[in-house]
Chain A
């Protein structure tokens, strides 16, 4: 870490982009943005720009992947080559393969998989621009795309990270904080069920700091949850208007 001298929190306790420690970045969510997908959503969180699309339930190919008692969920998290400072090779990296797995496992608990045996759902996540916290923003968008596709769910999944910048626990880390901060704790939550469906951590935190970070991330998830519901309702307002015309 060569940039240790850079301060992430100023004297007033504000962050590089002027946010308070427990403040989210500005979030814009839109549901139903792609016409070919069965469900879709677009999210902007800070400079993150992410598209999520859901196809299915449909017959699985290859067929031997199908399960007799439930639906199979497949998920692909992918970053566009132009989404980061130095061009990223479009071939899936080990990081993307791991993230595809943990994102899938964060959504599975929310879906009534047993309602659609022998079928599959594909979730595609394309990070068009990355600014730290892409896995969380992807989960937030993916659960909306699933809802948009009409998949029966126990709850929406909202996700948000907390971490440590300098000596302060902060919410929703942006790129610089993620890279030179000392810890990152992404959390996904089904707020109505108090169920944590994704939890990862890297960095160093004491048990007390970890508790504080998880608490802060959960509060962040709840705020994002409210925005998700608003965005979902908004889509149907426009559907209603179209119908009345």
Chain B
């Protein structure tokens, strides 16, 4: 925020937005071009790559067996992790996950978990003892803003592409059989992120817009148009009217985005 270049940019971006325009000629509620590929990593049980303008995120899923949580003995386990890989931006450093990557992973996690996207009861192998664990690993490969929407979209695309190993239980031992079945999915949540710049809401901020924004809000919407997760971020604020406006726009946008997934 404090660099002179971003301050000059801030003025320019704010002036454009006041006229309903943006740096890259988008409308305030337009996404950048979205490219989506599924099944790109053969070794992973499921995978997807999303290009959101120049932002690039890859997600791979792996499935292992493990123990269920004691409070949900009949359900499989979902684990989401996000890596801000150093090659994606000069601001990403190697090392244990920082608060930004933890927040990103938890926003993606919440969208999938709260919408009940995965039919976790079908991932139970032996009640209270053995279940399938679905690992969703978000890999940010190029950072040009709005990592949240790109990651959430790539994660759900990878899950829709995930194959579960066939198995049979013999005397308490899980034996894998040949062949795969698709991961049981019930819902397809979509996350839509807004940035607030100069008291105006814009969708899908690019990096330059993120650097000058006051605050952001991400809203996950399920297939029925219900809200299933929200996260406000950044050191600014929203008014109640802005929050409700964002929720309504998110509902429309999510429906458009969902069509890209052939769900």
Segment from A48-56, A130-138, A201-209, A235-243 that makes contact with B:
A201-209
Is residue A20 within 8 Å, beta carbon to beta carbon, of the partner chain?
Answer: no
Complex Cα gap A195–B243 (Å): 10
A180-229 contacts to B, CB under 8 A, are 185, 190, 193-207, 210-211, 214-215, 218
B204-263 contacts to A, CB under 8 A, are 215, 217, 222, 225-240, 243-244, 247-248, 251
Is residue A94 within 8 Å, beta carbon to beta carbon, of the partner chain?
Answer: yes
Is residue A35 within 8 Å, beta carbon to beta carbon, of the partner chain?
Answer: no
Complex contacts, A59 vs chain B, CB 8 Å: none
Knowing A68-B2, A97-B99, A101-B99, say if A109 contacts B236 (CB, 8 Å): yes
Complex contacts, B110 vs chain A, CB 8 Å: 202
Complex contacts, A190 vs chain B, CB 8 Å: 237
Interface class of chain B by DSSP = mixed
Interface residue from A194, A197, A210 paired with B247 (Cβ < 8 Å): A210
Total interface residues in chain B, CB < 8 Å: 39
Complex Cα gap A105–B234 (Å): 6
Chain A residue nearest to B251 in the complex (CB): A207
Knowing A2-B71, A2-B72, A102-B232, say if A204 contacts B222 (CB, 8 Å): yes
A189 → chain B closest CB, angstroms: 9
Complex contacts, B234 vs chain A, CB 8 Å: 105
Is residue B55 within 8 Å, beta carbon to beta carbon, of the partner chain?
Answer: no
Interface residue from A105, A201, A207 paired with B233 (Cβ < 8 Å): A105
User: Which interface class (under 10, 10 to 19, 20 to 34, 35 or more) fits A?
Assistant: 35 or more
Is residue B102 within 8 Å, beta carbon to beta carbon, of the partner chain?
Answer: yes
Is residue A45 within 8 Å, beta carbon to beta carbon, of the partner chain?
Answer: no
Knowing A94-B102, A98-B99, A210-B247, say if A201 contacts B240 (CB, 8 Å): no
Knowing A94-B106, A98-B99, A98-B102, say if A207 contacts B247 (CB, 8 Å): yes
Knowing A198-B232, A202-B229, say if A211 contacts B217 (CB, 8 Å): no
On whether the beta carbons of A196 and B239 are closer than 8 Å, the reply is: yes
Interface residue from A1, A95, A104, A204 paired with B228 (Cβ < 8 Å): A204
Complex Cα gap A104–B232 (Å): 12
- Number of CB contacts from chain A to chain B under 8 A: 102
On whether the beta carbons of B230 and A207 are closer than 8 Å, the reply is: no
Chain A residue nearest to B187 in the complex (CB): A204
Complex contacts, A201 vs chain B, CB 8 Å: 227-230
Is residue B191 within 8 Å, beta carbon to beta carbon, of the partner chain?
Answer: no
Complex Cα gap A201–B222 (Å): 13
B65 → chain A closest CB, angstroms: 21
Complex contacts, B240 vs chain A, CB 8 Å: 194, 196, 214-215, 218
Is residue A40 within 8 Å, beta carbon to beta carbon, of the partner chain?
Answer: no
Complex Cα gap A68–B2 (Å): 8
Complex contacts, B230 vs chain A, CB 8 Å: 185, 199-201
Interface residue from B74, B106, B237 paired with A196 (Cβ < 8 Å): B237
Knowing A101-B103, A105-B233, A207-B248, say if A202 contacts B228 (CB, 8 Å): yes
Knowing A2-B72, A69-B2, A194-B239, say if A105 contacts B228 (CB, 8 Å): no
Complex Cα gap A70–B215 (Å): 17
On whether the beta carbons of B73 and A2 are closer than 8 Å, the reply is: yes
Knowing A204-B222, A214-B244, say if A105 contacts B2 (CB, 8 Å): no
Binary interface profile of B, 38-52, with partner A (CB < 8 Å = 1, else 0)?
Answer: 000000000000000
Complex contacts, B243 vs chain A, CB 8 Å: 196, 199, 214
Chain A residue nearest to B114 in the complex (CB): A202
B251 → chain A closest CB, angstroms: 7
Complex Cα gap A94–B237 (Å): 24
Is residue A166 within 8 Å, beta carbon to beta carbon, of the partner chain?
Answer: no
What would 22 A/B residue contacts be, using CB atoms closer than 8 Å?
A2-B71, A2-B73, A67-B2, A94-B106, A95-B106, A97-B99, A97-B102, A102-B231, A102-B233, A105-B215, A105-B234, A109-B235, A185-B230, A194-B239, A195-B237, A196-B238, A199-B238, A199-B243, A201-B228, A201-B229, A202-B114, A203-B228
- Nearest 5 A/B pairs, CB to CB: A108-B235, A201-B230, A195-B237, A199-B232, A109-B237
Beyond the given A94-B105, A94-B106, A200-B230, could you list 12 further A-B residue pairs with CB under 8 A, ordered by the A residue number?
A94-B102, A95-B106, A100-B99, A101-B103, A105-B215, A199-B243, A200-B232, A201-B228, A202-B113, A206-B227, A207-B226, A214-B240
